[in-house]
Amino acid sequence: MRKRQSWSATQIPDQSERTFVVTGANSGLGLATTRAVARKGGHVILAVRDEARGRRAMADLTAGLPESRLETRPLDLADLESVRAFADGLRRDHARLDVLVNNAGVMAPPRTLSAQGHEIQFAANHLGHFALTGLLLDLLAGGADPRVVTVSSTNHRRARIFFDDLSGERKYSPMGFYNQSKLANAVFGWELHRRLAQAGSPVRSLLAHPGYTSTSLQTGGPVGLVSLLFGRILSPLAQAADQGALPQLYAATAPDAASGQFFGPDGRGELRGAPTRVRLAPTATATEIGRRLWEVSEKLTGVRFG
């Protein structure tokens, strides 16, 4: 495994001719990703659930980067109608898209259902990003060095997909269903890579994970022991969001980052460090699981990839 210990956001190539969409861009990893790309001249569309927070984040970024090109658009990934509205608006106002960073997520809340009746973590972390990618794929195909970067987690390696109970109606575990959503991200990123390559598409599909990073993900959703563990006990061990965002920034911008690759921190246990290529669980690349998840996702979202 080749390490890139010296790689940092300062080594991102010039992005002044490229347009990015970053989901969950108003805080944490999304904000760090937006800031790093904007510093290199990229036009970043902040896709945010809370417009007021998105505008505040954009104002702060613009104050420090007077030449940056930023815009904020509302997107609730847990609501497929919101995903379609976002995609329609983007297609109306932009002729192409160069990079989509599927970053936003929720972690370990009490069992909650989305607007369409899906378990909220599977809906927001996977189904929303699946639909968004499919609806924007033609814009990406016309982009310059186009990429889709999907953010997963090391937790995908200890997960399984509950195909017989995706909504947790029979049995629900907050972390078990979070892990399921992160495995779904990994399966989707790999299966998208396989299908794009088979079709001869110029779009690359890459994956990344941030290691153990301090963000609102650990404090904004979890309850009970999960909140105590991640929000308080382990928080001193976490790295900053600017460091945790490096694997997804590498996947989004590095010239040698290839489709199908998975990037994470190079430190012990992949908890922290500089970006390096890491392994996907065999489950994530299993053909039958990829096919089955793809078919289920198309059915639940109504989105089919051209």
Rounded CA-CA distance 212/99 in Å is 24
Query: 235 pLDDT band (50/70/90 cuts)?
Result: low
Does the pLDDT value for residue 55 go beyond 60? yes
Distances (CA, A) of 91 to 86, 232, 275: 9, 42, 32
Longest dimension (CA), the chain: 52
Does the pLDDT value for residue 218 go beyond 70? no
Give the lowest-confidence range in 36-40, 110-114, 178-182, 215-219.
215-219
Q: How many CA atoms lie within 13 A of 175 on its CB side?
A: 11
Q: Side chain identity at 283, as an amino acid letter?
A: T
Does the pLDDT value for residue 204 go beyond 50? yes
Query: 292 pLDDT band (50/70/90 cuts)?
Result: very high
Residues tagged active-site: 178
- Rounded to 5°, the CA angle 235-239-241 comes to 105
* Contacts (Cβ under 8 Å, ≥6 apart) of 42: 15, 16, 18, 19, 20, 69
pLDDT at 64: 76
Percent of the chain with pLDDT over 70: 90
Would you state the torsion angle of the CA atoms of residues 63, 66, 68, 71, taken in this order, to the nearest 10 degrees? Answer: 50
Query: 16 pLDDT band (50/70/90 cuts)?
Result: very high
Query: 236 pLDDT band (50/70/90 cuts)?
Result: low
pTM: 0.93
Does the pLDDT value for residue 65 go beyond 80? no
Does the pLDDT value for residue 231 go beyond 70? no
For the chain, give the mean pLDDT: 92
* Contacts (Cβ under 8 Å, ≥6 apart) of 99: 18, 19, 20, 21, 143, 146, 147, 148, 149, 252, 253
Looking at residue 119, what DSSP letter applies? Answer: B
